[in-house]
């Protein structure tokens, strides 16, 4: 659908019925899903603290090198185990030294004396986990439904290796707001206008498509002026086109964001998991794949850090306005460029309704288009 067609649809169609009051970011975290918690490379010889849906979890590596994700709260007196240490392949609490193995069994309680065996019912909550694309994934939901085939496809990352460039950031805002930020990239021209956008704009064609679980936004923009800060890198072209894709796994907020610049024909692809730490906090331990000369690969990550800070400035003040109660007619006003974000709200709301009714299943065809194919087709086009 073209932008013009979208405009007509948006003015009369179902998108207009999606009210802000129906959409309160941060209220619900979906179950039966793989959330990426941290980079595999970040888990060394010390336990690492993370949070998912307000639950503190600890990530550590057992004697065999396998990743373990467990409740970050000692069964004895609730001290965070992430403050402890790994000793003899177990996780040891820093307070009285209770130690847990990779299955959560408490295997040592020093105060019981040497040779004693802890109560077999002292078992720490342990989550199914898996390492892929250099990321630690944790299954949040019914352990019996755990299935590694449900991990998102990330075509620009190697499944068995860490990404060439890994970074972390935290937003003081709900995960849904971080996702919408990535589904509407027209904000690049304004909020990030000096770094990556063009306030003058250009030809725009924004399209969206969706399954029950995945929303895909594509944005083709032509005849643009390269941003002043980057024009020298590209050889000062007078005009530049770019193609962008954001693909969102709605259940978890995990996003794939790719941008192709022509000229010079370089590409930046980011995996940005909008992992919900709580209603007002989102964590992204994110990964980048950049094509272009080595120096561009060095320059872009710090630029992206500035971009993220600019986003955070907006998201953290936007968040309280969404977290308070809305009046009946206090709705977001939207334009055609908001169609992908509105679609995301619609898909997410349906998903939450299904989950609240007890239906956690993934439906046939939920993945939709292969992200690699979307990118390839558009690059050729
Ligand atoms: S609180 Fe952990 S051993 Fe006492
Ligand atoms: Fe942004």
Residue 114 has pLDDT above 50, yes or no: yes
Q: Name the residue with higher pLDDT: 21 or 350.
A: 350
pLDDT of residue 52: 98
Q: Which residues pair with 50 in a beta bridge?
A: 57
Percent of all residues in the chain with a pLDDT value above 90, rounded to a whole number? 76
Phi, psi (rounded to 5 degrees) for 205: -135, 110
Mutation choice for ligand 1 from 47, 72, 76, CB with most ligand atoms inside 8 A: 76
Indicate whether residue 77 lines ligand 1 (CB < 6 A).
Answer: yes
Predicted confidence band at 379 (pLDDT cuts at 50, 70, 90)? Answer: low
**211 phi, psi to nearest 5 deg:** -115, -165
Residue nearest atom 4 of ligand 1, based on CA coordinates: 96
DSSP for 24-87, please give it: -TTS---SSEEEEEEEGGG-SSS-EEEEETTEEEEEEE-TTS-EEEEESS-TTT---GGGSEEE
What is the structure's pLDDT at 10? 37
Closest ligand to Cα 110: 1
8 A C-beta contact, residue 206 and residue 6? yes
What token pair was written down for 122?
Answer: 């002292």
| Ligand 1, atom nearest to 98 Cα | 3
pLDDT of amino acid 53: 98
Residue 200 confidence (pLDDT): 79
Q: Quick one: tokens of 74?
A: 């000692």
Residue 88 is classified by DSSP as T
pLDDT in tens, 263-315: 898 999 999 999 999 999 999 999 999 999 999 999 999 999 999 999 999 99
CA-angle at 99, arms to 98 and 100, nearest 5°: 130
Predicted confidence (pLDDT) at residue 230 exceeds the cutoff of 90: no
Question: Cα of 103 to ligand 2 centre, how many Å?
Answer: 40
The one-character DSSP state at 105 is B
Task: Give the pLDDT score at 22.
Answer: 58
Query: How many whole angstroms from 191 Cα to the centroid of ligand 2?
Result: 7
Decide: 98 in ligand 1 pocket, CB within 6 A.
yes
Q: Where are the beta strands (DSSP E) in the chain?
A: 33-39, 48-52, 55-61, 67-71, 85-87, 90-92, 99-100, 106-108, 126-127, 129-132, 135-140, 165-171, 203-210, 214-224, 240-249, 254-262, 266-273, 275-278, 281-291
Atom of ligand 1 nearest to the CA of 75: 2
The pTM assigned to this predicted structure is 0.92
Whether the link from the prior residue into 275 is cis, omega within 30° of 0, is no
| Confidence at residue 328, expressed as pLDDT on a 0 to 100 scale | 60
pLDDT band at 327 (very low <50, low <70, confident <90, very high): low
Q: What is the mean predicted confidence (pLDDT) over 20-31? A: 80
Segment 68-74 shows an average pLDDT of 98
Nearest to 131 by CA among 232, 38, 29: 38
CA separation for the pair 57, 255 (Å, rounded): 22
Rounded-to-integer distance, Cα 230 and Cα 195, Å:
7
The answer, yes or no, to whether the previous bond of 42 is cis (omega within 30 of 0) is: no
Distance 307 CA to ligand 2 centre (A): 6
**Centre of ligand 1 from the C-alpha of residue 94, in Å:** 7
Mean pLDDT of 100-124: 97
pLDDT at residue 6 tops 50 = no
What's the 120 CA to ligand 1 centre distance in angstroms?
A: 17
Residue 248 has pLDDT above 80, yes or no: yes
Secondary structure E strands in 110-253: 126-127, 129-132, 135-140, 165-171, 203-210, 214-224, 240-249
């Amino acid at each position: 659908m073209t932008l013009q067609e979208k405009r007509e649809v948006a003015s009369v169609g179902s998108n207009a019925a999606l009210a802000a009051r129906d959409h309160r970011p941060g209220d619900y975290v979906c179950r039966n899903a793989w959330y990426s918690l941290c980079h595999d490379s970040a888990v060394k010889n010390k336990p690492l603290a993370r949070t998912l849906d307000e639950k503190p979890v600890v990530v550590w590596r057992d004697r065999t090198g396998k990743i373990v994700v467990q409740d970050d709260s000692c069964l004895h007196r609730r001290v965070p185990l992430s403050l402890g240490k790994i000793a003899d392949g177990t996780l040891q609490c820093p307070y009285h030294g209770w130690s847990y193995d990779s299955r959560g069994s408490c295997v040592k309680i020093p105060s019981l004396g040497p040779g004693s065996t802890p109560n077999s019912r002292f078992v720490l909550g342990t989550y199914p986990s898996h390492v892929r694309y250099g990321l630690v994934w944790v299954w949040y939901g019914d352990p019996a439904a755990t299935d590694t085939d449900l991990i998102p496809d990330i075509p620009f990352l190697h499944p068995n290796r860490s990404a060439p460039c890994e970074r972390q950031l935290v937003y003081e805002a709900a995960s849904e707001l971080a996702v919408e930020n990535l589904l509407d990239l027209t904000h690049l021209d304004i909020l990030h206008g000096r770094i990556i956008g063009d306030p003058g704009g250009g030809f725009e064609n924004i399209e969206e498509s969706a399954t029950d679980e995945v929303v895909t936004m594509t944005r083709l923009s032509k005849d643009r002026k390269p941003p002043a800060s980057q024009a020298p890198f590209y050889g000062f072209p007078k005009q530049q086109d770019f193609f962008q894709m954001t693909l969102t796994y709605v259940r978890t907020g995990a996003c794939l964001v790719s941008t192709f610049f022509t000229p010079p024909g370089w590409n930046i692809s980011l995996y940005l998991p909008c992992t919900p730490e709580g209603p007002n906090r989102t964590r992204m331990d994110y990964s980048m794949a950049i094509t272009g000369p080595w120096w561009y690969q060095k320059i872009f990550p710090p630029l992206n850090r500035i971009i993220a800070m600019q986003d955070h400035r907006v998201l953290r003040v936007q968040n309280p306005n969404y977290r308070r109660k809305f009046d009946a007619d206090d709705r977001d006003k939207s334009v055609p460029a908001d169609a992908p974000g509105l679609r995301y709200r619609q898909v997410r709301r349906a998903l939450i309704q299904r989950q609240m009714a007890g239906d956690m299943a993934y439906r046939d065809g939920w993945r939709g288009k292969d992200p690699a194919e979307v990118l390839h087709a558009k690059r050729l086009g």
